[in-house]
Structure 1
Amino acid sequence: MITSTKNIILQGKHQKPILADVFYFKNNKKKSVIVFCHGYKGFKDWGAWDLVAETFANAGFFFVKFNFSHNGGTVRQPIDFPDLEAFGNNTYIKELDDLETIIDWVSATDFDYKNEVDITQIVLIGHSRGGGIVTIKAAEDSRITKVITWAGVSDYKNRFPKGEAFDLWSKNGVYYIENGRTKQQMPHYFEFYTSFIENEERLTILRAVKQIKIPHLIIHGKQDPTVNVKEGENIHSWNPKSELFLVDGADHVFGAKHPWEPDDMPKHLKAITLKSIEFAIL
């Protein structure tokens, strides 16, 4: 029977709490740790992520997923985006710090589940924008033993507004993206860009990929309309020792959506979850 504890409150480094979930089979046996990072406009309870967590737990892993502190969720409402001010003030540096807080938490000697975890085996998985975050962290943190990206981005700088849109952002200090599902106008303050520029070397995914020395799996859907499959192919080309797993017919979220009502994962998400488990076990 899988044990899960949801909405564990951790204090982050940026005045906002981090909410975390853990899924595992309770047997006092040391398990490899999976830490899962959601993507842009994402959250830990999105779609079929719980089913992913249960599948990893059934395979013998200790699975952790969490909300980035500035993803727009709150302790009372972790799903969707009640705190758009926090969302607007998010940066890549804050997300890297949040991930470090999670890794420190799992690795601590007073970790509540220390009898269930093998902290010498920590695997990072990141979806979309979170793929860049786990790649950078894997390159700089020696505690990470494997890294997996799902539809991961290859270049943060290239995703900023350009031309007139950038000029308006700089002038006004904010630009808005509509959330297609919730219809919210989601802000991005200009600090998002200036923080990137101030930390550009660290936040360049190409640099990080070339420094990765641990097993590295890149998973991408061939029909991804959000992050083109060429980005996955680029990442693979930068680290020839990495493994590239392309999925015919798969979109950016591997067939899932929010909310996800069925008891089973969509076929593409199931396929990449099983592939990731196989990679993490070997």
Structure 2
Amino acid sequence: MQNIRRLAHTIEADGYKPITLDLHYPAGKKSLPVLIFIHGFKGFKDWGHWHLMADAWAASGRAVVRMNLSYNGTTPEHPTELLDLEAFGHETFAHDVEDVNRVVAFLKTSTWAKQEGIIDPERLALIGHSRGGAVAILAGAALRDAVKALITLASIDNTGFLWTEERRQQILEQGAVYILNARTGQNLPIYRAVYDDWWAKKDSDYNLEDKAKSLKVPVLVIHGTADESVPVEAARRLTSWLPKATLYLVEGAGHTFGGKHPYEVQELPPHTKEVIHATVDFLNKHL
């Protein structure tokens, strides 16, 4: 792979939680289109093999931003641990969409992002994994002309994916529910305010079908046929809602396309290589 450089930054502003991000780009290239990667639920930008995927996308001639959603539970000091459980317990889709908006605004206006003419923020695409796929759709609908293309990886198709009847009853009665993080053994809180926010907006701001139907840009929907977390039918529904969607199924792939955390080798898994090939082909046509 060609020489890929990485720049780290933290976006800070009064009244907001910090957003940490990494910019990957091929050395010596100028005016690169930008791809923003949005992680999923219980995820973070440094999970598993996301950094290697970003390098692969950068090698194809793009500037790639891996961002931490500010309420994901990590902190700038501890980017790979869910230690800020108060933030995690209050994460809403509105917070996440606002974070994407903040990153896009930063890329368009910051001298850091524009240094040496590396990026062309007018050519911008979003890519989101799992819950991050829904965030990408919601943010794409909000940003409108600022986003030229969009990709979902193993995306959910319902912003209410957490709210089983059992959890609904528990949070209404007790004010919180707890989600087990199988990797760390942590019981992660979700507070009543998050449920109330979703309930109030589920038919408007968080209606994924309506937001998907409003998107006018090309969208690539990627899903593994053996996804153990989000059924492949979710991808078929998303594709049916999106006016300019292409569905790409990775035969036999699970939810993370062969990745895991920690990921301690430099070679991408076969299913992830297929994802890279499909996404690069799509971006070559549309970004």
Instruction: Identify the TM-score tier after normalising by the shorter chain.
Output: over 0.9
Deviations 1:192-215 (A, max 9, x none): 111112322111110011111111
Partner of 1:239: 242
32-41 or 134-143, larger mean C-alpha shift: 134-143
When structure 1 is superposed on structure 2, of 242-251 and 77-86 the one drifting more is: 77-86
Secondary structure of the residue aligned to 1:149 is: strand
Which amino acid counterpart does residue 195 of structure 2 have in structure 1? Y
- Superposed CA offset, 1:85-104 (max 9, x none): 11111111000001111111
Q: Aligned AA for 1:173?
A: G
1:216 and 2:219 matched: yes
Q: Shift of residue 269 of structure 1?
A: 1.0
| Residue in 2 that maps onto 1:40 | 41
TM (norm. structure 1) is 0.95
Inter-CA distance 240–75: structure 2 relative to 1 (3 Å threshold):
closer
| 2:87 paired with 1:86 | yes
CA displacement at 1:166 relative to structure 2 = 1.3
Alpha-carbon deviation of 1:270?
Answer: 1.3
Give the TM-score normalised by structure 2.
0.94
Which AA in structure 2 matches 1:27? G
Change (3 A) 1:44 1:109: closer
Task: For residue 182 of structure 1, report the CA deviation from its aligned partner.
Answer: 0.3
Q: Distance in 2 between matches of 1:109 and 1:238?
A: 35
| RMSD between aligned residues | 1.4
Aligned to 2:186: 184
Summarize the Cα distance change of 1:240–1:264 in structure 2 as closer, same or farther, 3 Å threshold: same
Q: Could you tell me how far apart the structure 1 residues matched to 2:110 and 2:186 are?
A: 42
Provide Cα deviations, 1:132-182, integer angstroms capped at 9, x if missing partner. Answer: 01011112212000000000111112x133334311211111110110000
Deviates more, 1:13-22 or 1:143-152: 13-22
Match of 1:172 in 2: 174
Please show how residues 6-17 of structure 1 align to structure 2 within 5 Å. Answer: 6=8, 8-11=9-12, 15-17=16-18
How far has the Cα of 1:58 moved from its partner? 1.0
Q: CA deviation at 1:13?
A: 7.4
Contact conserved, 2:151 with 2:219, CA < 8 A, in 1?
A: yes
Equivalent position of 1:153 in the other structure? 156
Structure 1: segments with no counterpart, 5+ residues: none
Matches within 5 A, 1:78-157: 78-108=79-109, 110-114=111-115, 115-141=117-143, 142-157=145-160
CA distance, structure 1, for counterparts of residue 192 and residue 13 of structure 2: 22
Aligned-partner Cα distance in 2 for 1:177–1:12 = 30
User: For the structure 1 residues 259 and 12, does the alpha-carbon distance in structure 2 shift closer, same or farther, using more than 3 Å as the test?
Assistant: farther
Comparing 13-22 and 207-216, the one that deviates more: 13-22
Unmatched tracts of structure 2, length 5 or more = none
Partner AA of 1:34 in structure 2: L
Count of residue pairs the alignment pairs up: 280
- Listed one character per residue, the Cα deviations across residues 215-250 of structure 1 (whole Å, up to 9, x for unaligned) are 110000001011100000001111253100001100
CA distance in 2, matches of 1:39, 1:199: 20
Percentage of matched positions with identical amino acids: 33
The answer to which of 20-29 and 118-127 deviates more is: 20-29
- C-alpha displacement at 1:67, in angstroms? 0.7
- Asked if the contact 1:14/1:94 (under 8 Å) is kept, the reply is no
